[in-house]
Amino acid sequence: MADEKDQHDSPYFHPKPYGSGVTRRQFLAVAAAGAAAAAAAALSPLKDLTQIPTLRQFLQKHYTELTPEEKKEILGRISAEVREKYGVTPHLTAQPPLDGVQFAYALNMGRCIGCRKCVYACVNENNQSRDPQIHYISVLEMEKGAVNVETSNTDYEGQVPKKGHYYMPVQCHHCEKPPCTKVCPVKATWREPDGIVVVDYNWCIGCRYCAAACPYHARRFNFKEPYLPKEDLNPEMGYLSNRPRQVGVMEKCTFCLHRTRAGKYPACLEVCPTGSRKFGNLLDPDSEIAAIIRDKRVFILKQERGTIPRFYYFTDV
């Protein structure tokens, strides 16, 4: 009555219920082994995690709350880290802001020829990543007749200046009302009493709010581990300026804080072949920056933003 043909017609009939190849148990065993191997492979990047902070790093206080002894200890620790990674003992300082000094920068738009020497002098001074490239200064090439940042070009090459064009280098404007410091959720970036807006790379959590808030496109993020050849490292370093950065932190122009607080000019100014770049103490009436504010036609980029920059563009005449 239940002959073979009936059995075959039945939807519940399996000629070989668990097959001759794989049983359910075997299948699960192999699948579990495969899944475990795949998971191990996927997690293997954790093996290379070298940036687990030490307890002391983890418990470091905010820079503005550090005592001189704590600062000294931290500088020693960072120097040791740099020596380990680059084989050079750096001269790492944490200079305090100068009394009676308000730093400001001015750039002569009529003289700039867009040669980009400032860009690379900055890279050379401030230990930026060479690959991927990080530049604090963007030189905008614009057509004469208007200040139109939207149609500007940063990719020009060859002989400069190009006919019918002028150049406007843009970097951190060190605003008196900086929108970038307002949005920082952890106060890793702030404005120092001498007017320099700084970033503590040990405090930055990499949320990039500040880059979004900056109207001047001045902030640069380390999306990858910065690559800097050992021989290119500049051993003159400041805690808040050009000490080597790690992946996942924001950085930007600091007016070469480690130089300028020692009384020197910034690196971008020293290299400018046309002398378009001017820097100094606004409070000193004999400084070139005071002379520019007093005598020249000064222009502020995106004045309507109300950021009150400490970076001025000017022209002769």
Partner 1 sequence: MAEHDWEKTDAFRNTEIPYWLLLAVSAAFVAAAWFFYSNRHAAGHGGPAFVVKPQYYDISPARTLKKRLETEGMACGDCHDPSAGPSSSDPRVAPEVHSKVVLKHGPNNRCFNCHNNAKRDFFAEDGGGQIPYLKVETLCRKCHGTTYRDWTSGTHGRRNGYWNKAAGEQKQLPCIACHDPHSPAFKPMLAAPAPRKYTAPGVKH
Cis peptide before 15 (omega within 30 of 0): no
- Residue 28, interface with partner 1 (CB under 8 A)? no
Site stretch for partner 1 (CB under 8 A), options 117-125, 202-210, 243-251, 304-312? 117-125
Among 75, 115, 253, 257, binds partner 1 (CB under 8 A): 115
Residues in binding contact with partner 1, number by CB under 8 A: 75
| Amino acid residing at 211 | A
User: Measuring CA to CA, how many Å separate 119 from each of 104, 105, 265, 267?
Assistant: 19, 15, 15, 10
User: Measuring CA to CA, how many Å separate 37 from each of 30, 43, 49?
Assistant: 11, 10, 20
Looking at the Cβ atoms of 77 and 156, the one nearer to partner 1 is 156
Footprint on residues 40-99 left by partner 1 (CB under 8 A): 41-42, 44-45
| Amino acid residing at 96 | P
Contact indicator for 262, 269 with CB cutoff of 8 Å: no
Footprint on residues 173-192 left by partner 1 (CB under 8 A): none
The Cα–Cα gap between 245 and 226 comes to: 7
Nearest Cα to Cα of residue 245 among 294, 285, 206? 206
In this structure, what token pair is assigned to residue 151? 């149609």
- CA 147 distance to own-chain centroid: 26
Footprint on residues 130-149 left by partner 1 (CB under 8 A): 130-133, 135, 138
Site string for partner 1, 4-23 (x = CB under 8 A): -----x-x--xxx--xxxx-
- CA 137 distance to own-chain centroid: 12
Footprint on residues 270-289 left by partner 1 (CB under 8 A): 270-275, 278-281, 287-288
Looking at the Cβ atoms of 243 and 277, the one nearer to partner 1 is 277
Looking at the Cβ atoms of 30 and 186, the one nearer to partner 1 is 30
Site stretch for partner 1 (CB under 8 A), options 25-33, 49-57, 239-247, 297-305? 25-33
Q: Minimum distance from CB of 107 to partner 1 (Å)?
A: 11
Among 243, 269, 309, 310, binds partner 1 (CB under 8 A): 269
Q: Minimum distance from CB of 51 to partner 1 (Å)?
A: 15
Q: Minimum distance from CB of 275 to partner 1 (Å)?
A: 4
Looking at the Cβ atoms of 188 and 195, the one nearer to partner 1 is 195
Contact indicator for 163, 191 with CB cutoff of 8 Å: no
Among 107, 123, 188, 210, binds partner 1 (CB under 8 A): 123
The Cα–Cα gap between 90 and 206 comes to: 25
Contact indicator for 312, 299 with CB cutoff of 8 Å: yes
